[in-house]
């Protein structure tokens, strides 16, 4: 061993090793950072990888800190480190054992699950950002990029449905259908199976729009809530939906969760044909 040489902590993981490195750094700060060098060894998945680390570790003052969940690899590292008189610290097993004992659960012993969870999380965030960006027909280019496109008249729950489905990691664009505004051409360029039309009964739509006007402090006689206007909009929307050829769901008296479930069921059926 060379005098004055840095102590080394070999971080060994059957995944990326970020968790172990973070823990080691946290501990090192308790010693003012020490004179410690951290060397990460990621994706260790066989005995030879472990031997490579041991060869390096036994030549200098070192510790092995590891997050290995595959039992055979963990047992091998523990045994060989003891034989080489190298301190090996298992960062996961105490907590895994606590979960097993206290919660009566069985671990998967599968590497990389945290990374998969992170990927799921970022896909959800991306889908939410997509729903916000392409809400209410703001940018018709989103129609071509979306997993699901929702179309319908105002107050058919397009926005809350888009957000609900985004939390399930679907990229959703929604387009309001208004007689005075031509439907975007992109709507007729996508596969029919990517689009869902949302309809509602005139009575229910009238009720919802009256409540909306009240919330805005506007009079109930505004054309927005008039039956003539509502029937005109619904007729126009039906024509667009027929032209698109998309499945149609009636959202009258349905909760967002119920409608979202129906949307996913319809799309699953459509896309399996």
CATH number of the domain bearing residue 46: 3.40.50
Among residues of the chain, what percentage have pLDDT more than 70? 94
The separation between the first and the last C-alpha atoms of the chain, rounded to the nearest angstrom, is 69
Contact between residue 163 and residue 128 where contact means Cβ atoms under 8 Å apart: yes
Q: Which of 111, 140, 163 is the last residue of a domain?
A: 111
Residues annotated in the binding site, as ranges? 152-159
Same domain, 125 and 107: no
Distance set, CA 219 to CA 210, 214, 224 (Å)? 9, 7, 10
Q: Which of 111, 144, 160 is the last residue of a domain?
A: 111
Residues annotated in the binding site for ADP, as ranges? 152-159
Same domain, 137 and 257: yes
pLDDT given at position 2: 45
Same domain, 127 and 246: yes
Residue 47, H or E segment = helix 47-57
What domain count does the chain have? 2
In this structure, the number of other CB atoms found within 10 A of the CB of residue 187 comes to: 22
Give tens-digit pLDDT for 2-44.
445 678 999 999 888 888 899 999 998 888 766 789 999 998 8
Q: Smallest Cα–Cα separation from 41: which of 32, 54, 53, 59? A: 53
Same domain, 147 and 248: yes
| 76 assigned to some structural domain | yes
The better pLDDT of the pair 120, 115 is held by 120
Same domain, 101 and 127: no
pLDDT given at position 3: 43
124/259 Cα distance (integer angstroms): 20
| 2 assigned to some structural domain | no
Same domain, 162 and 261: yes
Same domain, 134 and 96: no
Phi, psi of 53 (to 5 degrees): -70, -40
| 57 assigned to some structural domain | yes
Same domain, 128 and 242: yes
Give tens-digit pLDDT for 206-262.
999 999 898 888 877 788 989 999 999 999 999 999 999 999 999 999 999 999 999
Same domain, 145 and 85: no
Q: Which of 111, 139, 158 is the last residue of a domain?
A: 111
Residue environment code for 162-179, b if the CB has 16+ CB neighbours within 10 A, otherwise e: bbbbbeebbbbbbbbbee
Contact between residue 9 and residue 39 where contact means Cβ atoms under 8 Å apart: yes
| 80 assigned to some structural domain | yes
| 221 assigned to some structural domain | yes
- Kindly state the average pLDDT of the residues 108-126: 73
pLDDT given at position 122: 81
| 72 assigned to some structural domain | yes
| 153 assigned to some structural domain | yes
**36: β partners:** 7
Greatest CA separation found in the chain? 91
In this structure, the number of other CB atoms found within 10 A of the CB of residue 139 comes to: 14
Provide the H-helix boundaries in 67-177. 71-83, 93-103, 113-133, 141-145, 158-166
Q: Smallest Cα–Cα separation from 251: which of 153, 149, 143? A: 153
Q: Smallest Cα–Cα separation from 66: which of 85, 92, 45? A: 92
What does the DSSP 8-state code read for residue 134? Answer: T
3 state SS of 12: strand
Q: Which residues lie below 8 Å from residue 230, measured CB to CB, with a gap of 6+?
A: 153, 202, 205, 206, 209
Same domain, 134 and 267: yes
| 1 assigned to some structural domain | no
Same domain, 171 and 235: yes
Domain residue limits at 20: 7-111
Same domain, 189 and 171: yes
Please give the full DSSP string across 50-88, using - where no structure is assigned. Answer: HHHHHHHHTTSSEEEEEE---HHHHHHHHHHHHHTT-EE
């Amino acid at each position: 061993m060379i005098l004055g040489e840095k102590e080394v902590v070999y971080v060994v993981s059957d995944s990326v090793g970020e968790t172990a490195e973070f823990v080691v750094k946290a501990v090192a700060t308790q010693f003012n950072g020490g004179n410690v060098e951290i060397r990460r060894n990621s994706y260790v998945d066989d005995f030879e990888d472990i031997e490579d680390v041991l060869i390096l570790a036994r030549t200098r003052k070192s510790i092995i800190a590891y997050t290995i969940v595959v039992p055979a690899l963990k047992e091998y590292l523990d045994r060989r480190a003891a034989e080489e008189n190298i301190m090996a610290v298992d960062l996961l097993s105490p907590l895994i054992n606590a979960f097993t004992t206290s919660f009566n659960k069985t671990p998967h012993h599968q590497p990389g699950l945290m990374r998969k969870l992170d990927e799921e999380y970022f896909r959800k965030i991306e889908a939410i950002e997509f729903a916000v960006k392409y809400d209410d027909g703001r940018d018709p280019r989103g129609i071509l990029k979306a997993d699901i496109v929702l179309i319908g008249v105002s107050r058919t729950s397009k926005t809350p449905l888009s957000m609900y489905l985004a939390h399930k990691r679907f990229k959703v664009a929604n387009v309001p259908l208004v007689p005075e505004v031509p439907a975007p051409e992109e709507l007729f360029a996508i596969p029919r199976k990517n689009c869902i039309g949302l309809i509602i009964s005139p009575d229910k739509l009238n009720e919802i729009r009256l409540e909306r006007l009240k919330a805005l402090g506007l009079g109930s006689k505004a054309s927005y809530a008039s039956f003539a206007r509502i029937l005109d909009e619904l007729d126009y929307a039906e024509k667009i939906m027929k032209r698109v050829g998309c499945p149609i769901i009636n959202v009258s008296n349905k909760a967002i969760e119920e409608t979202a479930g129906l949307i996913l069921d319809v799309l699953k059926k459509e896309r399996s044909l």
